[in-house]
Structure 1
Amino acid sequence: MPSASQEWIVLKFGGTSVSTLERWKTIAEELRKRIAEGARPFVVCSALSGISNMLEALVEAAPGGDYEAIVSEIEERHRALAADLEVDVDELLGERFKELERLALGASLIGEASPRFHARVLAMGELMSTSLGAAYLESVGVSASWRDARQMLSAVHEPNINLNRRYLSAACECSPDAGLKSSLAEGDADVFVTQGFIASDAEGDTVLLGRGGSDTSAAYFAAKLEAERLEIWTDVPGMFSANPRDIPSARLLRQLDYDEAQELATMGAKVLHPRCIAPVRNGQIPLHIRCTQRPELEGTVISGEVPNFGAQVKAISAKNDVTLISMDTLGMWQQVGFLADAFGAFKQNGLSVDLVTTSEANVTVSLDPMANALEPQTVEGLLEDLNAFCDARQIGPCAVVSLIGRNIRSILDELGPAFEVFDEQHIYLLSQAASDLNLTFVVDEDQAQKLVRKLHAQLFSERISDKLFGPTWRELFGGEMAEVAERTLWWQDRRDDLLEVAEEGAAYVYDAPTLQQKVDDVRSIDALDRVFYAMKANSHPDVLRLFEKSGIGFECVSPGEVERIVELFPDIDRERILFTPNFAPRDEYAFGFEQAGFLTLDNLHPLEAWPELFADKEVIVRLDPGRGRGHHKYVRTAGNQSKFGVAPNELDRLSELVEAAGARVVGLHAHVGSGIRTADTWSENALFLASLRDRFPELRLLNLGGGMGVPERPGQRALDVAEVSERLAKFKAAQPDFELWLEPGRYLVAQAGVLLARVTQTKQKGDINYVGLETGMNSLIRPALYGAYHEIVNLSRLDEPMTMTAEIVGPICETGDVLGHARRLPATEEGDVILVGTAGAYGRAMSSQYNLRQPAREVLLK
């Protein structure tokens, strides 16, 4: 029987760590080790990966919508895991499933759910995952007791907070709790299993601790139990000098003190929730970050006993979706109480301020979305209150880029060269922490990733492993990265062919076998009834011929694209042509009805202005689900900041106009962005569209859009097409009467294409090396347009060691003519052939003759 004197160790496992049998085997093994050490483990678990997003979709489903498919998918995920774990799902979760269905029915009836209801629904994920996990541990000989976190964590009452924050981002009391320790000591289990993310308030209502709040739950429990340590188990082995998913050369940080970890988490490092640091710091409880996939790795230790490593920058972080509030008035100069009035308005609206800068006539502050529920009406209320005594405006979306370390003020002279990366950037706010732990810049959101890459190259390229800095991400996961690369780097095997092509000048080269493999990948998604290639990605005739022979259709966005298809394939079945104009003139819609098999409408204006065009016509309507995804704001195609789609609040008007015109809506379409590598996107689109079936009696097809992403950087995981197929198969089983369509564009062609260009000149200015190429942004504008990353190698010297870091530039008379920043290359000379990878999509298709220079030609290798 466990002893009351045993030290507690709190272990938190995130969503990816609790979603498979293999991960639960790791959890069981780690718990056995802690028990053997003489400790008593207390386990905090998140919901299964992706379940919280599904529950969010359930809450946000349209009134009267089809919620059954979402409930069915959630239930199937838990049943599948229970089968793998060999536990009785009906005994464990039967009542939970019934409760979830009741809540889902309620969500479909009440329309906009209250925050209180929202919290009840989202809590279901953790309640279900932990029930399965505790039963599995028991089944494999680990004595485990399931506990409800809401009976152990109580939310603190905070005055002047709105309902969203009260129910969805609560804070809890976490002083040492003798009553809790006594209660747990009475049990005879070796391990206690409970939920992260959830607690209860004084009225007994369920509240949430904010997205990512399971870390905070674990920290609260560690503090209440006065634990020996807190272990956060996740899918990365610790904190790094930058986001390792974006920068594989980022180094593991072996040791951090609480303040440094707090700064990193607050300023954008996603490994830890910022609110989890304070409880363990107050109790001087060490926090260990560990990797469930690689439990043998050392990880990061956060404590109050870290050696003094001297003044230095330890990491660079970035945080997106930051909102600024700028307040202007000449009347504030020497005015007593202006700041009190201003911050009183923030308090009155329940908003906490993060960064602050002031001048004689302006105060600018940042609002962190992690700490605030930034509903539009909340910000509007704030601005209305502020405008009573100043000129207030909202700026955003912005990003925070922070240098984090110790005594940064004392080394500003050493950092001078690094600051040149901000040259010509719009810096909205500059903040140097009084604690001297960070130096922070607020910039346009689309510049953040580029700036972090350049800063990291400047500050960390020469670092080696020591007591503070551990191995790089590439060194830790090199084997896995090589596995990803091997699947995509076809050009290594065709190097001689490519060098021969490059002798005749710059060229885009496409590999036919890779194109065919990508088509086969998409066709393996059995639930799909039709696939339409979004030909704007690459309209080269030979590429189109290969796709036509494969039997897929073509999604066209202009008459010119339709005409190219008809010219190449005059006998093509017009139902293989889908026409999707956007803000196009009247005659293009008439053209589409004549020349294409299907036409997509994404605005009400054509129905209002030209109803006669739509009389007795079948149309597909593109809807805006309200939330976009993607690697850059220019490729996110949903939400108010995007020009695409009919907004949800226009659905009633849409129905009226369709009926008045005599049109028939036979399909609905949703597309949320590009470069997406999360498998649940398309099933979520399907659920959203299916929820609207009652509005359109002739609805028979759902176009789930495209946006399937590909790995572009070393270490990035590919989209799991098999998982996409599995999720859509579950939807199709629940909704067999719908046709499902998909529009992959970039996915089919991106990895099959490379850009080749010879080196024209090299140059060094100060510490910066430049490698000039015979073509630039006239051939490939993506890096200049939205900071897109493309792998760049010296194909002529592929096996030589990397000895230089260089800016890869073209011959165009623009400072922005840069194809790659701070790239590692071997010693490079005039005449060498440079290869730019993953360039088959939106490369030649977006090229120009700027400076009257011809873009790179195109070649297909069979």
Structure 2
Amino acid sequence: MTDQSLLSSRIWTVLKFGGTSVAKPENWAVIAKLAKARLKQDKPGGKVLIVHSALSGVSNRLEALPDKALNGDVSVEIAAIKAVHLDFAEAAALDGTALLASHFDTLDRLAAGIALVREASPRVRAELLALGEQMASVLGMERLRQEGLSPVLLDARDALTASSDSADASGYLSNSVIEGLDPALQAKLETADLVLTQGFIARNSRGETVLLGRGGSDTSAAYFANKLNARKLEIWTDVPGLFSADPRLTEGARLLQALSYDEAQEIATMGGKVLHPRCIGPAHRGHVPLEVRSTLRPELAGTLITSEPGDDAPQLKAVSVKTGVRIVTMEGAGMWRQAGFLADVFACFKACGVSVDLVSTSETNITVSLDPDPSLDQARLDALRARLEPFCRVKIIEDGAAVSLVGYGVRRILHKLAPALEMFQDKPIRLVSQAANDLNFTVVVDESEGRTLAARLHEELIAPAPSGPVFGPSWAELNDTAAAKPQRPTPWWATKRDQLIKLTPQTGGRYVYDLETIKARASAVAGIKSVNRAFYAMKANPHPEVLKTIFAAGLGFECVSPGELMRLKDTFPGLDPKKVLFTPNFASRHEYAAAIELGTNLTIDGLHPLTHWPDMFRGAEIILRLNPDRPRGHHQHVQTAGPKAKFGIPLDQLDAAREAAAKAGATVIGLHAHAGSGVVEANHWREIGAILARAAEGFSDIRILNVGGGLGVPESAEAPALDLSKVDAELATLKQALPDYEIWMEPGRYPVAEAGVLLSGVTQIKHAFGTRFIGLGTGMNSLIRPALYGARHEIVNLTRYDEDGTGMASIVGPICESADLLGADRLMPDTREGDVIAIAETGAYGAVMASRYNLREPADEVVI
């Protein structure tokens, strides 16, 4: 029998819907519509089985409930769980209290029992978590009836039998199911056309409820499809399929329209979040086509997964990055030609319950990676190390990132990786692994480098692929609708679009700075109540009008060179030197002397000035810059802490710095640390302050803790924004604990970045190898941030700002360098010669870093 005839003989279609898809009554109208369509489409004899998850957020609450029951009153949490379902029922005009009475009673009894006996066994936890799906089934049945359907309710535990009867935690909370055609189940459902059942739950041979692990609803649906010999399994979720990358990594991520089971398995296993890795196996073994679709966009075809790859030519299809990876390296000459050495080593991992992901071996070294595992605590790692050390030298490296490339024939295209891997010529690659099935190539790098590498690999190797059987539209193209775009305040450059178009030069480029925006951002920083003084880093933008606006808002200035000090002197004659913070780095002796003579606040970031020029500092008050070994930022060039940063005094040299300052006769009045740029976590500066406070314990005259800056600026409408009120609240906690210290801050580019745009006209349009290039009159000679450290700037066509995007494009300049790329994979409208392009968030580190490379004049500057 051919595959086609085999499929035509099947009658069941399995539809799976996740928590978001079933969370609201109106979503069930979509589910009912899909079920009706499948029943009509598959006539005569077609049947539909719907598998669903708990309502969104309910499983998380139920999972947390036992620990809360052990530690105190859970009435509030139970009320919240009930409220989710009662709110659903009320919105659907259902009597939720009556419908869910028995399940609510079970919820109360289980929680009370846990609190009474002070124990939450895995068996009880499984019963508790299973309630989420059971309660959703009750509501779902009623909603389908309201939509004119007559579903039959099937308790999944009556159909799915666990493959393990283990009484430990894994047996109850992360079991699997016996697979294979199930004539008994088929006979049981023979008279039903539409069946509703739950995901996530099954039953062991003792009749007890067991779970299939978090994300197990996908797997449940695959088991049902396998048992019923289904013609298709459709996984309905909140995204329209699998993509060539996480869309949060790049908006150029492409919809993967067709994949093989093996490819999909690799993508899911290596960090793809759309499908649970365990769900593909049962579908594969049952030869059931699997389709991933979106309930939010049901008109889209999604991703079809079968035994065929869509295109079997050597081709990369996806890149993923998995963070939180640990590396374990084992070295020793004793492993050379020693039979059974690998067995001995891996027995240690088994004994400690540690799962190994990737493996790389040589004659004297074995390196493995460990997947992120919250239960893998320091005690288990110490136990693993103790077991391994009799065999070899052991080193455990934290905070790694596994970057994986997936696609058939990886071996034949490895040479294409070279340009992207050039960024690691001075950075460690911890592990390299190539799968034996020629489907996967993975490198493990430091976590701070993972996303940058993945984005670059996607940009160079996957994004340019032409549309066809495999690659569909990009994430940006699929979401280019007003409803899909995130709501945010209209940026100033959109409000002043007409004015900016008129300011755009005929040739070259022009920076335009909006003083209203600068005033607002600087005032917001000055308004942080927990910060005593804030100093704007004028290296970001020293334009005199910018400096005046920032000073008027209440900020001081941080300078790093005599030239910047002179700019301040020219702009503000008679400026109080105490409103200036001078922070030189590897500067010559005379710069320190000039700062002391001027009377500015002075920061020392190394031992050399104190140990080699001590007479200069006699009687001076100084601040010491420390290196807290906490690098932050998306690229090495914006990280100003850690072992590779040239800034600051390492904490282990702090005693030497204190002694050197004392011998020189200088008084250390403050400590300073700056970890990097682009930080959006509000607690970061409190953590830096706590590090400085501990370091200050060995000093008698410190009154200032300078927590640095790096306040993050969103790179796009989708990027997270820093909440200054939360920063203030975090620092208030620090200040309350340290009332004797002043808190200083350096807001970096925050006051000016969003206030600037780079304008340039379109010179040419080119289409080559599936890529559209939009050329501008200026490039990296005006804006080097994208080439220097992969910075991302929002890019818009001001001339056609109200028009929809028509496709992806790379925005390039006229400089004779391949790095002259201002932005890749940007959704742009139909763009023509002469259109005005605006590159946003360029108020900082734009004009100040420009050059006359190629003897082209960089963009000039104006303020409005």
Specify the TM-score bucket, using the shorter chain as the normaliser: 0.5 to 0.7
Shift of 1:317: 1.1
The aligned runs of 1:372-451 (5 Å cut-off) are 400-404=402-406, 408-409=408-409, 431-434=433-436, 438-440=440-442, 445=450, 446-451=452-457
3-state DSSP class of the match of 1:226?
A: strand
Shift of 1:639: 2.1
Segment drifting more, 730-739 vs 777-786? 730-739
Q: Does 1:557 align with 2:560?
A: yes
Distance in 2 (alpha carbons) for counterparts of 1:473 and 1:762: 19
| 1:327-354 per-position Cα deviation (integer Å, ceiling 9, x unaligned) | 999x99xx98379657867887999764
Q: Does 1:600 align with 2:603?
A: yes
Residues 684 and 775 (structure 1), Cα distance of their counterparts in 2 relative to 1, 3 Å cut: same
| 1:682-725 per-position Cα deviation (integer Å, ceiling 9, x unaligned) | 22223333344432333222212111111113411211222222
Residues 548 and 228 (structure 1), Cα distance of their counterparts in 2 relative to 1, 3 Å cut: closer
Q: Does 1:457 align with 2:459?
A: no
Shift of 1:805: 3.6
CA contact (8 A) 1:222 1:280 kept: no
Q: Which residue of 2 aligns with 1:815?
A: 818
Letter in 1 for 2:497: R
| 1:223-266 per-position Cα deviation (integer Å, ceiling 9, x unaligned) | 99423784599xx9568522222334547899999987774465
Q: Does 1:667 align with 2:670?
A: yes
Q: Does 1:475 align with 2:479?
A: yes
Work out which structure has the larger RCO, using CA pairs closer than 8 Å and 6 or more positions apart in sequence. 1
Residues 825 and 184 (structure 1), Cα distance of their counterparts in 2 relative to 1, 3 Å cut: closer
CA contact (8 A) 1:180 1:225 kept: no
Q: 1:790 aligns with which of 770, 788, 793?
A: 793
Q: Does 1:227 align with 2:211?
A: yes
CA contact (8 A) 1:251 1:473 kept: no
Distance in 2 (alpha carbons) for counterparts of 1:48 and 1:855: 58
3-state DSSP class of the match of 2:453?
A: helix
CA contact (8 A) 2:203 2:210 kept: yes
Shift of 1:822: 3.2
Distance in 2 (alpha carbons) for counterparts of 1:355 and 1:451: 20
Q: Which residue of 2 aligns with 1:676?
A: 679
Q: Which residue of 2 aligns with 1:246?
A: 249
Q: Which residue of 2 aligns with 1:738?
A: 741
Q: 1:845 aligns with which of 845, 848, 852?
A: 848
3-state DSSP class of the match of 1:517?
A: helix
3-state DSSP class of the match of 2:799?
A: helix
Distance in 2 (alpha carbons) for counterparts of 1:663 and 1:702: 18
CA contact (8 A) 1:628 1:639 kept: yes
Shift of 1:441: 5.7
Distance in 2 (alpha carbons) for counterparts of 1:548 and 1:48: 52
CA contact (8 A) 1:465 1:471 kept: no
Q: 1:834 aligns with which of 810, 832, 837?
A: 837
Between the aligned residues of both structures, percent identity stands at: 39
CA contact (8 A) 1:506 1:856 kept: yes
| 1:384-421 per-position Cα deviation (integer Å, ceiling 9, x unaligned) | 99999xxx99999986443447xx34x999x9999798
Q: 1:367 aligns with which of 349, 366, 369?
A: 369
Distance in 2 (alpha carbons) for counterparts of 1:807 and 1:382: 53
Q: Which protein is bigger by CA-based radius of gyration?
A: 2
Letter in 2 for 1:493: K
Shift of 1:583: 2.2
Shift of 1:743: 0.9
CA contact (8 A) 1:325 1:393 kept: yes
Distance in 1 (alpha carbons) for counterparts of 2:607 and 2:203: 55
Segment drifting more, 375-384 vs 812-821? 375-384
The aligned runs of 1:157-306 (5 Å cut-off) are 225-227=209-211, 230=214, 237=238, 241=243, 242-248=245-251, 250=253, 263-264=266-267, 267-269=270-272
Residues 273 and 568 (structure 1), Cα distance of their counterparts in 2 relative to 1, 3 Å cut: farther
CA contact (8 A) 2:511 2:759 kept: yes
Q: Does 1:502 align with 2:505?
A: yes
Residues 699 and 422 (structure 1), Cα distance of their counterparts in 2 relative to 1, 3 Å cut: closer
Q: Which residue of 2 aligns with 1:524?
A: 527
Residues 374 and 456 (structure 1), Cα distance of their counterparts in 2 relative to 1, 3 Å cut: farther
Segment drifting more, 253-262 vs 762-771? 253-262
Shift of 1:326: 10
CA contact (8 A) 2:348 2:388 kept: no
Q: Which residue of 1 aligns with 2:638?
A: 635
Q: Which residue of 2 aligns with 1:773?
A: 776
CA contact (8 A) 2:356 2:371 kept: no
3-state DSSP class of the match of 2:564?
A: helix
Q: Does 1:579 align with 2:576?
A: no
Distance in 2 (alpha carbons) for counterparts of 1:374 and 1:184: 28
CA contact (8 A) 1:580 1:599 kept: yes
CA contact (8 A) 1:556 1:579 kept: yes
Distance in 2 (alpha carbons) for counterparts of 1:793 and 1:370: 38
Shift of 1:574: 0.9
3-state DSSP class of the match of 1:796?
A: coil
Distance in 2 (alpha carbons) for counterparts of 1:491 and 1:307: 46
Distance in 1 (alpha carbons) for counterparts of 2:539 and 2:276: 40
Letter in 2 for 1:475: N
Shift of 1:739: 2.0
3-state DSSP class of the match of 2:518?
A: helix
CA contact (8 A) 1:669 1:703 kept: yes
CA RMSD of aligned residues (A): 6.0
Letter in 2 for 1:572: L
Q: Does 1:133 align with 2:97?
A: no
Residues 259 and 705 (structure 1), Cα distance of their counterparts in 2 relative to 1, 3 Å cut: farther
Distance in 2 (alpha carbons) for counterparts of 1:346 and 1:589: 57
Letter in 2 for 1:133: E
Letter in 2 for 1:452: H
Q: 1:538 aligns with which of 530, 541, 544?
A: 541
Distance in 2 (alpha carbons) for counterparts of 1:232 and 1:44: 11
3-state DSSP class of the match of 2:211?
A: coil
CA contact (8 A) 2:533 2:743 kept: yes
Shift of 1:836: 1.6
Segment drifting more, 695-704 vs 749-758? 695-704
| 5+ long unaligned stretches in structure 2 | 1-16, 29-50, 87-103, 137-168, 175-198, 218-236, 287-291
Shift of 1:461: 6.3
Distance in 2 (alpha carbons) for counterparts of 1:400 and 1:314: 17
Shift of 1:502: 2.2
CA contact (8 A) 2:796 2:839 kept: yes
Shift of 1:494: 2.6
CA contact (8 A) 1:601 1:621 kept: yes
Residues 362 and 828 (structure 1), Cα distance of their counterparts in 2 relative to 1, 3 Å cut: farther
Across the two proteins, how many residue pairs are aligned to each other?
697
Residues 184 and 768 (structure 1), Cα distance of their counterparts in 2 relative to 1, 3 Å cut: closer
Q: Which residue of 1 aligns with 2:178?
A: none
Q: Does 1:626 align with 2:629?
A: yes
CA contact (8 A) 2:522 2:550 kept: yes
Shift of 1:753: 1.0
CA contact (8 A) 2:68 2:74 kept: no
CA contact (8 A) 2:403 2:453 kept: no
Letter in 2 for 1:840: G
CA contact (8 A) 2:559 2:583 kept: yes
Letter in 1 for 2:644: Q
Letter in 2 for 1:449: A
Shift of 1:273: 10
Q: Which residue of 2 aligns with 1:709?
A: 712
Shift of 1:732: 3.2
